[in-house]
Structure 1
Amino acid sequence: MDDEEADLREQIFHNNVREQIIFLLLFILLYLFSFMLIEKFRRRDSEDYFTADEDEVKVYRISLWLCTFALAVSLGSALLLPVSIVSNEVLILYPNSYYVKWLNSSLIQGLWNHVFLFSNLSLFVFLPFAYLFSESTGFPGCRGLRGRVYETFIVLFLLGIGMLGLAYVISAWLKGDRSGIDALLNLWTYLPFLYSCVSFVGVLMLLVFTPLGFVRLFGVVGAVLVKPQFLRDLNEEYYVYSLEEATIRRRIDNSAATGASYITPEPMCPGRGDISASVDDSVSDSKAKIVEPDEKQIPLLRLRNGALHAGLNERLHRIVAMRKEVENKRKTSSLQRNVVYPLAMLLLLALTAITVLMVLQNTLELLIGIKALPLSTRQFTLGIASLSKLGWAGATLEAFLILYLHAASLTGLCTPMRALRVLPRARRTPLTRIIALCAVLLAHSTAQPLLVKILGITNFDLLGEFGRIEWLGSFKLVLLYNAIFASTASLCLINKFTASVRRELYNRFKWITDLFTAPETQLHRISNTSRLSMDWSVNEKTETNSDPKPKSQ
């Protein structure tokens, strides 16, 4: 009996060690990938990293490591559900395989618990510490790295007290709790509540950006892949860029030879503002002057101090880059243009339609009472039954849909970030912006499992503390969320594919109404046009038939 208990304890010990090693290896892989991603975008100049002060270098490195940790946790949170679904199907397909015995419910449960714990630490401790540490200067009596650490911890402590007090007020207001000081001092009850509030904000953010990302993905794929010939004439674009390149080269040679400070010859399409757009960033208003010659509303740039030559060179570099890009796309095979692009568009349309149909089905099941709320209280065992009625094929489709939702929400999130000019740029992103982007991505990724479960994309229960978030048990909230998501996604798709048709119908209807509301004006325009054309034809015929020799007197 003692030998059996010893063997059981030894087996539990080995299983625990194996799980910890697997967690460590997964985290190292995610951390290395996150580090390479941040290294691609972080700024490398004297203001951020290369400085003579060793304390500044240490502060920068510590803050960068904390950002990398938070980004690794966000990647792990985004992969939680797909990995769990695939693991369940693998255990069902190969129940007795020696190579998958390490994959069990304890491992997946521990993975969810670790992600939840590290998400809380990153949101409420590591990222605020990284920002405050990078912006700290130290107390007057204690300079150096130690003073900055003291200042950061004190400010973080005061911020934590304020956040806990705010959480206590919000909790008492929502729950109607009139308890005294004992509930206020029970800090561990407010940490999950704070995370619940952050996850709710993340889910609302996904509700806005995911339907927008469905539409934006079509444009992104259309920009990456080469469209067929009937949708995009690459030969015409190539000739246009070639002619514009030749024109700009002649203008550069002319300005270098004559020293002129104005564009010669005059642009044929000056309203486009090609040159003004190219030199707007590099030339101040004092060096640029817009002149309106004669009665023509044609802006001509008269630039001094070599600004015209610099602006033309910058425009030339852009045109050459676009011409080379179009030239490379011209070399794409017809098979790729006529097969890959339509298949990619059909795949995006099919994934979006399947997602909307599954959300509608989940809404109806919630109304009828067939499906339960996403609040999970039971213990899930991996490898017992398939999560989909279609078996491994349906589970694979669910995993792809989850990744597609994540990609769509990220694409939709890039739209306001691009408008606010906070998107990361390669080797030009400062540390404070990296910290803010890591916080946004972490809130976005940790809310992704909640979004998938609310919409009913999968039947996999939320494990750990993810399934115990209280607002997931609100029937009205979940039902309203499903209805809003289905309606907004459908409206975005309808607007995407019918915009051109509706615009053309509107133009035709407007033309017809103008024709009937002002018939005299329309007839007057038509008569004037016909009279001008007749006069032009008569004059042309007269000039053709006229004798070039002078008549004799």
Structure 2
Amino acid sequence: MDDEEADLREQIFHNNVREQIIFLLLFILLYLFSFMLIEKFRRRDSEDYFTADEEEVKVYRISLWLCTFALAVSLGSALLLPVSIVSNEVLILYPNSYYVKWLNSSLIQGLWNHVFLFSNLSLFVFLPFAYLFSESTGFPGCRGLKGRVYETCIVLGLLGIAMLGMAYVISAWLKGDRSGIDALLNLWTYLPFLYSCVSFVGVLMLLVFTPLGFVRLFGVVGGVLVKPRFLRDLNEEYYVYSLEEDTLRRRINNSIATGGGYISPEPMYPERGEVSAPVELSFSTTKETPVFQGKDVPLLRLRNGALQAGLNERLHRVVTKRKEVEEKRNTSSLQRNVVYPLAMLLLLALTTITVLMVLQNILELLIGIKAVPLSTRQFTLGIASLSKLGWAGATLEAFLILYLHAASLTGLSTPMGALRLLPRARRTPLTRIIALCALLLAHSTAQPLLVKILGITNFDLLGEFGRIEWLGNFKLVLLYNAIFAATVSLCLINKFTASVRRELYNRFKWLMDIFTAPEEPSPTARLISRASIDRSFVIDKRDKTDSNEETFVNEDISKK
């Protein structure tokens, strides 16, 4: 009996050690990928990293490490459901395989618990500490890195007290029975509640940006792939960029040779938004001409060095676009006529399947076949398939989850691009990286909740993810599904019928203009208008003659 208990304890110990090693390896891989991603976008100049102050370098490194940790946790949260679904199907297909014995329910459950814990720590501790630490200056009596740490910890503690007080007030207002002193001192119960609020905000954010992402993905794929010739004439675009490149080269050579300030004669076509020089190029070589500040100056109205710099910058953009179009011209006809239509059909099929699954989920919720996504039971991996179609259906569910994640990120990039918050390669400051990591973390942790609310998969949310209280609200879940299905359908209809509706509107407007055209004036009215025009012309000519005579007299007097 003692030998059996010893063997059981030894087996539990070995299983625990194996799981911790797997967790560590997975986290190292995600951390390395996140570090490479941040290294691609982080700013590299004297203001951030390459500074002479060693203290600033240490602060920057610590904040960057915390951001990398949060980004790795967000990637792990985004991969939770697809990895769990695939693991369940692998155990069903190979139940007695020696190579997949390490894949069990305890491993997946521990993975969900670790992601939930690190998500809370990153969202409420690490990222706020990174921001406050990078902005701190230290107390007057305690300089150096230690003073900055003390200041950050005190400010973070005050911020935590404010957040916990706000959580207590909101919780007491919603539940109505948490007004005692014991509930106030039980601080550990507020972290799941705060995470529940953040996840609810993230799910609302996904409700807005995921339908927009479905529509925007068609444009993104259309911009990456080469369209057929009847949809896009690459030869015409190539000739346009080539002619514009030759024109810019001639203007640069003319400006260098003659040293002229203005281009004469000016082009007859109106200037576009991209034909303007930056503010730093808007200077003048003469003292009499004022310097333009606070706005862009038209490129063709600059002088000397500013004109040459602006033309060179625009030439660089035109050459880049011409090379891109030239590369697309050299693509094969198979890629043009087969790959592009297949990609568009695949996106349309995935979006349609998602909408149909959401409609099916709404019907099952109304009938009572499916319950709300609040999960409290223990899930065992490898018992039954999650889809009626077997491994094929489970693979489709995992692919749909990743597609939803990509669509929501694409839709989220639209307002961020309008607000100029998107990261730029080697030009993103640390504060923006911290904000983007927090946004991605809230987005990724809300993704499993979105998938479960929409009924994309039958996999139960494990750990603390399945105990979020608002998931048990039937009206909220049903309303969310209805709004999601309606918005996605309207966005798709608007996407594919916008050109037809625009053409019909133009035709209808043209017909209305014909029928509502003003009648031709009578001969009498024509004579009256002609007489008024002649009279105004004579008066104008008389005024000009008088002004010229007065000018001549003044000049004669001045000469005498």
Give the Cα separation in 1 of the matches to 2:170 and 2:61: 37
Deviation at 1:56, TM superposition (A): 1.0
Deviation at 1:284, TM superposition (A): 5.8
Contact preservation (8 Å) 2:259, 2:304: no
| Alignment match, 2:192 | 192
| Alignment match, 1:36 | 36
Contact preservation (8 Å) 1:453, 1:462: yes
Q: SS at 1:506's partner residue?
A: helix
| Alignment match, 2:314 | 315
Q: SS at 2:519's partner residue?
A: helix
| Pairing of 1:270-285 with structure 2 (within 5 A) | 270-272=270-272, 274-275=274-275, 277-279=276-278, 282-283=281-282
- What letter is aligned with 1:383? G
| Alignment match, 1:24 | 24
| Pairing of 1:232-311 with structure 2 (within 5 A) | 232-272=232-272, 274-275=274-275, 277-279=276-278, 282-283=281-282, 286-287=290-291, 301-311=300-310
Deviation at 1:520, TM superposition (A): 3.0
Deviation at 1:273, TM superposition (A): 5.1
Deviation at 1:274, TM superposition (A): 5.0
Give the Cα separation in 1 of the matches to 2:148 and 2:304: 47
Give the Cα separation in 1 of the matches to 2:133 and 2:257: 56
Deviation at 1:266, TM superposition (A): 2.8
Deviation at 1:144, TM superposition (A): 0.3
Deviation at 1:517, TM superposition (A): 1.4
| Alignment match, 1:92 | 92
| Alignment match, 1:362 | 361
| Alignment match, 1:530 | none
| Alignment match, 1:335 | 334
Give the Cα separation in 2 of the matches to 1:423 and 1:509: 41
Q: SS at 2:95's partner residue?
A: coil
Give the Cα separation in 1 of the matches to 2:117 and 2:424: 31
Gapped regions of structure 1 (runs ≥ 5): 290-298, 525-553
| Alignment match, 1:72 | 72
Give the Cα separation in 2 of the matches to 1:220 and 1:474: 37
| Alignment match, 2:526 | none
Aligned residues: 514
Gapped regions of structure 2 (runs ≥ 5): 285-289, 524-560
- What letter is aligned with 1:444? H
Structure 1 length as normaliser, TM-score? 0.91
The answer to whether the aligner puts 1:428 opposite 2:415 as a matched pair is no
Deviation at 1:310, TM superposition (A): 1.5
User: CA separation of 1:271/1:302 partners in 2, compared to 1, >3 Å: closer, same or farther?
Assistant: closer
Q: Deviations over 1:237-269 (max 9, x none)?
A: 111111111111111122222222122343242
The range that moved more, 444-453 or 49-58, is 49-58
Give the Cα separation in 1 of the matches to 2:251 and 2:126: 56
| Alignment match, 2:164 | 164
User: CA separation of 1:280/1:510 partners in 2, compared to 1, >3 Å: closer, same or farther?
Assistant: farther
Q: SS at 1:306's partner residue?
A: helix
User: CA separation of 1:231/1:386 partners in 2, compared to 1, >3 Å: closer, same or farther?
Assistant: same
Deviation at 1:314, TM superposition (A): 1.2
The answer to whether the aligner puts 1:212 opposite 2:198 as a matched pair is no
Give the Cα separation in 1 of the matches to 2:239 and 2:442: 47
Q: SS at 2:379's partner residue?
A: coil
Give the Cα separation in 1 of the matches to 2:301 and 2:328: 37
| Alignment match, 1:528 | none
Deviation at 1:465, TM superposition (A): 0.2
Contact preservation (8 Å) 1:454, 1:478: yes
Runs of 4+ that moved beyond 6 A: none
| Alignment match, 2:470 | 471
Give the Cα separation in 2 of the matches to 1:465 and 1:521: 78
User: CA separation of 1:374/1:357 partners in 2, compared to 1, >3 Å: closer, same or farther?
Assistant: same
Identity %: 89
Give the Cα separation in 2 of the matches to 1:287 and 1:252: 22
The range that moved more, 394-403 or 237-246, is 237-246
Give the Cα separation in 1 of the matches to 2:469 and 2:369: 21
Give the Cα separation in 2 of the matches to 1:308 and 1:46: 29
| Alignment match, 2:460 | 461
| Alignment match, 2:222 | 222
Give the Cα separation in 1 of the matches to 2:106 and 2:220: 40
Q: SS at 1:520's partner residue?
A: coil
Give the Cα separation in 2 of the matches to 1:130 and 1:178: 33
| Alignment match, 1:542 | none
Give the Cα separation in 2 of the matches to 1:284 and 1:168: 58
